[in-house]
A and B are shown apart, each in its own frame.
Chain A
Amino acid sequence: MLDTVNPLFEFLLRQGDNTLILGHRTSEWCGVGPALEEDIALANTALDLIGQTQLWLDYAAEVEGKGRSTNDLAFLRDAYAFRNILMLEVPNEDFGRTLMRQFLFDAFQVPWLTLLQDSTDQRVSDIAVKSLKEALYHLERSRGTVISLGDGTEESNRRMQQALSFLWPYSGEVFCDDEIDYAMAKVKVAPLPSEIRSIWLETVEGAFNLAYLIKPEGDFAHSGGRAGVRHTEHLGHMLATMQVLQRSYPGAKW
């Protein structure tokens, strides 16, 4: 695998695709949130994520050096060229699943970006410092909302438990180290993702306890998204919406 790909480019795509795909999913709530405040919060979260995407994919485009722009990477790649984890592309379903997913992701991003601040790659470090401030803010909200809804009514608890049971098998993919991760760890651009699993577990288990939610059994993890070998059927549908403008009117600007 490493003979044919540039590991730094792959690494940057993973970072930028995670924030892009979650950012777009989150933006689907814009105008239809369950309450005005939540609608605004979701739109703002999406905006932060898309902004972070720009930083990652700008750098990815430069590192690739093939003349593709940031926008080309976001809007002209097909599903199998995406490197996001599968958890971020599954549909929102409801507000509960949306916030549970945000929480599972934020609980990873915070320790991950914290360590990336010490990357030997200055640009990666700069992006991590900038993104971490936003990720911390997101975590505060997603954790708080997961706890409020879990420890809410019978109905809200039932739906949060359902969301957790659905998402749990997707939550482990991000910790499955592969050749790209080993290559990045070797040059100290990034730590191995598996190294932060215990911190992540502590954060999520702590919240589940307060939220009266039961952590599902089992360590099985759906995977393939980070390597681009497998995506869910949902990603293609999402990209059809996200990319339609650039596909129909190539190079369109405003």
Chain B
Amino acid sequence: MVVYCDTNTKQIWDWLDTIPDPEIPVISIVDLGVVRDVDIERGAVKVTITPTYSGCPAMGVIAMDIDTELAKHGIKNLELKTQISPAWTTDWLSEKGRSRLERYGIAPPQAAGGPSRCPRCRSEKVEKISQFGSTACKAQWRCKECLEPFDYFKCI
């Protein structure tokens, strides 16, 4: 176990980067861009998070997971703050997160508003099934080459 006084913010970012997103466990909450700030002030660790979508039901779980993970490393004095501004955007997804999403079968967000290719066979012949998907952050698309449906991470 790491002793509390040895921790710095970089260390805390690394620990947070091991916490999987509750709904898409192949990426971490840091990859997703929901962790906005980490600060250590007078013995307290301050973590600021932001929701992806305003009604994202995973926020409660994310807060609990941060609490549990940091407690494992001996951090007891945690101040968790939620902020909505600046509003979360898919631009904050890390490069590591984007490639992991695709490997997992979820097409990463594109500024053009739709997936660039099928995450399975890489064909660019894709079509939209529905603007919404199994979670608030995804839409349903289909590949016209391999005929498989797939999730697309909505670009906002």
Q: Does B136 contact A (CB under 8 A)?
A: yes
Q: Which residues of B contact A134 (CB under 8 A)?
A: 53-54, 156
Contact B57 A47 (CB under 8 A): yes
- Residues 104-150 of B at the A interface (beta carbon under 8 Å): 129-134, 136, 140
B54 — nearest CB in chain A belongs to which residue? Answer: A51
Given A48-B55, A55-B84, 7 extra CB contacts under 8 A: A37-B140, A40-B133, A44-B132, A47-B57, A134-B53, A134-B54, A137-B156
A-B contact pairs, 10 of them (CB 8 A): A37-B140, A40-B130, A40-B132, A44-B132, A49-B55, A129-B87, A130-B84, A133-B87, A134-B53, A134-B54
Q: Which residues of A contact B55 (CB under 8 A)?
A: 47-52, 54
Interface of B is mostly: loop
| Chain A interface residues (CB < 8 Å from chain B) | 37-38, 40-41, 44-45, 47-52, 54-55, 125-127, 129-131, 133-134, 137, 140-141
Contact B53 A48 (CB under 8 A): yes
Q: Which residues of A contact B56 (CB under 8 A)?
A: 47, 51
Tell which of B51, B86, B132, B156 touches A41, judged by Cβ atoms closer than 8 Å. Answer: B132
Q: Which residues of A contact B131 (CB under 8 A)?
A: 41, 137, 140-141
State the CA gap A236–B134 with chains docked (Å): 32
Number of A-B contacts (CB under 8 A): 63
State the CA gap A47–B54 with chains docked (Å): 8
Q: Does B11 contact A (CB under 8 A)?
A: no
Tell which of A38, A48, A127, A131 touches B136, judged by Cβ atoms closer than 8 Å. Answer: A48
Q: Take A48-B136, A51-B54 as given contacts and tell me if A37 and B84 are in contact as well, using a CB distance cutoff of 8 Å.
A: no
Q: Which residues of A contact B129 (CB under 8 A)?
A: 37
